[in-house]
Amino acid sequence: MGKKGKREKKGKGAEKTAAKMEKKVSRRAKKEEEDLEALIAEFQSLDAKKTQVIESSCPPPSPRLNGSLSAHPEKDELILFGGEYFNGQKTYLYNDLYVYNIRKNSWSKVEIPNPPPRRCAHQAAVVPTAGGQLWVFGGEFASPNGEQFYHYKDLWVLHLATKTWEQIKASGGPSGRSGHRMVACKRQLIIFGGFHESARDYIYYNDAYAFNLDSFTWSKLAPSGIGPAPRSGCQMATTPEGSIIIYGGYSKQRIKKDVDKGTLHTDMFLLKTEGAGKEEENLWDFRILHTGNSCFDKLSLGPKSEKRKRRRGRQAEAEGADDEEMEKQQPQGPVEVVKEVVTEDGTVMTIKQVISGPAEEKEKSESEEEEEDGALGQQVEPCPRSNAMLAVKHGILYVYGGMFEVGDRQFTLSDLYSIDLHKMEEWKVLVEMDPKAQEWLEESESDEEEDDTEGAEGGEEEEESSEEESEDEGGEEQHPSVQPGEEHTDYLSRTEQYWIKFARSNMGPDAKEKKVVKVAHAMAKTFYEDSA
């Protein structure tokens, strides 16, 4: 056999090896997904035990990120759903629902039967239909050790007037994903981008889908023009004209084995409709908004009227002019035409056109004076963070929670700030929290086994009223109660056999014993924390 034949045989052998490895990885990923599906199903069986709507006052929600914060379309309320928490050793997922009363600056927890499974990195959008609806799509569920992921492709609606969850089953929707974006626009939910990740592979999306809120049907959009590259975590907002702006985001690609390259996107696109009367798929058009010549300003806070008066006063003293004459003077430096668009999902977009002029030194001196004025009073502002939850109500931006990084530590926050977007004077602290006081547990081998059986069921919650926990639940089967002052390890030791039997009855006789024990411990943990 010649050299060419050997090379061809060697090449085919490598292809076969790669194909075998791909099948092996695919089978392993499928098994991981099935394991997580079983765990999710068991947690849902616990949620199904609740048959009544219970609303009660409570402290602020526990620290979290990657949840959703939405403004009620009719009431002065914010709605917080889901999210995640990581303390360095375990990942906790939530599907709880909190309502923040803006006027009273108070929180309440609303327990509604049959909620969506626990998740984070989902998307939520509100519409004013029938007293208000909160729509939720997708997101992910992570294993306690944070190494396995299940991505949802389900669609849910919370009817705010009746306080009922409903799962909407319609074919033709997006694949399972998280990190996507969704907005309500012209009686449609528009979804763009996101990613899907397993322990060994990932994919980023740049597809767009529309869900019709009247016909309850999905359609995949095929916009004309050049669309954004695949990405997750972008900013997406509607304009007053009914178009959609997409900005930035993140993606990564594999350069070679075990080497990935991340990309922070800074481009901007406009997804717009071209009229009515055509098929939905042909309505949309992508336009590139070139940001190279655009200006993004860091906003400085402070009373604008006082700054103007102080600048005028200094100029009047120097030039001998009064306030009226100063107002009549035409600007000699660059002229800025500024338009701000504030959307209901918390996005503030500034469009600015600058007409250059000769008086750059004057502009600089005024800027310096503004900085001096701002330094006169100590400004309060949120600490740096990522994956926070945002909402806008009555022109006020609310920022809740998120993640604050210090070195390799990731502290999860539960503070709440607000700022008036019309005045841009100062941040207000509605719920205070010291990020330095947050829990962070270093990894240790002794915790690994426990990580496999605890954590994903929902995390540590604030204390709740004892009346909720002692609810009879309409005479349904009662689990072993938690004794006053009983630690979780003692409770698990005392009731382990009950939970294993209960898990076995739900999972069937063919389930592996190790898996049954894992689920049993998780269910016991959930019940213990709900009863604490």
Please report whether residue 459 resides in a domain. no
Judgement on whether residues 420 and 493 belong to the same structural domain of the protein = no
What is the pLDDT averaged over residues 466-494? 66
Confidence bin at 378 (pLDDT 50/70/90):
low
Cβ burial of 182 (10 Å; 0-12, 13-18, 19+) is buried
Q: What percent of the chain has pLDDT over 70?
A: 67
**What does pLDDT average to over the chain?**
77
* Tokens found for residue 394: 């009555």
Q: Which residues in 101-136 are b (16+ Cβ under 10 Å) and which e?
A: ebeeeebebbbbeebbbbbbbbbbbbbebeebbbbb
pLDDT of amino acid 290: 61
Highest mean pLDDT among 26-35, 141-150, 296-305: 141-150
Please report whether residue 162 resides in a domain. yes
pLDDT at 7 over 80: no
> What Cα–Cα distance (Å) separates residue 280 from each residue in 171, 211, 221, 398?
16, 10, 7, 34
Place of tokens 């944070």: 146
pLDDT at 510 over 90: no
Torsion of CA 27, 33, 39, 44, to 10 degrees: -140
Q: Model pTM?
A: 0.69
* Tokens found for residue 513: 């014993």
Please report whether residue 325 resides in a domain. no
Place of tokens 């306080």: 163
Element (H, E) at 525: helix 513-531
Please report whether residue 443 resides in a domain. no
Report which DSSP code applies to 455: S
Given a contact cutoff of 8 angstroms between Cβ atoms, the answer to whether 91 and 455 are in contact is yes
Cβ burial of 328 (10 Å; 0-12, 13-18, 19+) is exposed
Q: How far apart are CA 75 and CA 108, in angstroms?
A: 14
- SS3 sequence of 401-442: EEEEEECCEEEEEEEEEEEECCCCCCEEEEECCCHHHCCCCC
Q: How far apart are CA 381 and CA 34, in angstroms?
A: 44
Place of tokens 């006020």: 396
pLDDT of amino acid 353: 39
∠ CA 232-67-203 to the nearest 5 degrees? 25
Given a contact cutoff of 8 angstroms between Cβ atoms, the answer to whether 63 and 412 are in contact is yes
Q: How far apart are CA 42 and CA 309, in angstroms?
A: 64
Q: Which residues contact 445 (CB under 8 A, 6 or more apart)?
A: none
Q: How far apart are CA 440 and CA 430, in angstroms?
A: 25
Q: Is 225 helix (H, G, I), strand (E, B) or coil?
A: coil
Judgement on whether residues 64 and 199 belong to the same structural domain of the protein = yes
Q: Read off the pLDDT of residues 407-420 as tens digits, 9 standing for 90 and up.
A: 778 889 999 999 99
Number of structural domains in the chain: 2
User: What CATH number did the domain enclosing 249 receive?
Assistant: 2.120.10.80
> What Cα–Cα distance (Å) separates residue 382 from each residue in 69, 377, 417?
17, 16, 7
Confidence bin at 257 (pLDDT 50/70/90):
confident
Query: Which has the minimum average pLDDT: 24-33, 75-84, 167-176, 432-441?
Result: 24-33
Judgement on whether residues 392 and 523 belong to the same structural domain of the protein = no
Of the three residues 435, 459, 476, the one that is the final residue of a domain is 435
Q: Please, what sign has the CA dihedral across residues 152, 31, 46, 524?
A: negative
Q: Which residues contact 317 (CB under 8 A, 6 or more apart)?
A: none
Q: Read off the pLDDT of residues 163-213 as tens digits, 9 standing for 90 and up.
A: 999 999 999 999 999 999 999 998 999 999 999 987 678 999 999 999 999
Q: Which residues in 365-375 are b (16+ Cβ under 10 Å) and which e?
A: ebeeebeebee
Q: Is 371 helix (H, G, I), strand (E, B) or coil?
A: helix
Of the three residues 398, 415, 435, the one that is the final residue of a domain is 435
* Tokens found for residue 65: 């990120």
Residue in 432, 447, 530, 440 with CA at minimum distance from that of residue 481: 530
Given a contact cutoff of 8 angstroms between Cβ atoms, the answer to whether 222 and 235 are in contact is no
Q: How far apart are CA 318 and CA 305, in angstroms?
A: 20
Q: How far apart are CA 385 and CA 212, in angstroms?
A: 35
What is the pLDDT averaged over residues 261-282? 74
Judgement on whether residues 89 and 212 belong to the same structural domain of the protein = yes
- Percent helix, strand, coil in the chain, to 5, is 25, 35, 35
Q: How far apart are CA 362 and CA 54, in angstroms?
A: 61
Element (H, E) at 128: none
pLDDT at 472 over 50: no
Would you give the end-to-end CA distance of the chain in angstroms? 75
Phi, then psi, of 157 in degrees rounded to 5? -135, 135
Report which DSSP code applies to 217: E
Give the domain range for residue 500: 488-530
Judgement on whether residues 165 and 252 belong to the same structural domain of the protein = yes
Judgement on whether residues 495 and 423 belong to the same structural domain of the protein = no
Judgement on whether residues 417 and 495 belong to the same structural domain of the protein = no
Report which DSSP code applies to 65: B
Judgement on whether residues 147 and 248 belong to the same structural domain of the protein = yes
Judgement on whether residues 135 and 239 belong to the same structural domain of the protein = yes
Q: Is 19 helix (H, G, I), strand (E, B) or coil?
A: helix
Please report whether residue 370 resides in a domain. no
Of the three residues 435, 470, 502, the one that is the final residue of a domain is 435
pLDDT at 309 over 50: no
pLDDT of amino acid 434: 66
Judgement on whether residues 431 and 492 belong to the same structural domain of the protein = no
Judgement on whether residues 512 and 395 belong to the same structural domain of the protein = no
Q: Read off the pLDDT of residues 313-356 as tens digits, 9 standing for 90 and up.
A: 434 334 443 444 334 444 444 444 444 444 444 444 444 434 44
* Tokens found for residue 96: 């709880």
Q: Is 246 helix (H, G, I), strand (E, B) or coil?
A: strand
Please report whether residue 65 resides in a domain. yes
Please report whether residue 481 resides in a domain. no
pLDDT at 437 over 80: no
Cβ burial of 54 (10 Å; 0-12, 13-18, 19+) is middle
What is the pLDDT averaged over residues 288-317? 52
Please report whether residue 323 resides in a domain. no
Judgement on whether residues 69 and 190 belong to the same structural domain of the protein = yes
Strand partners, 351: 339
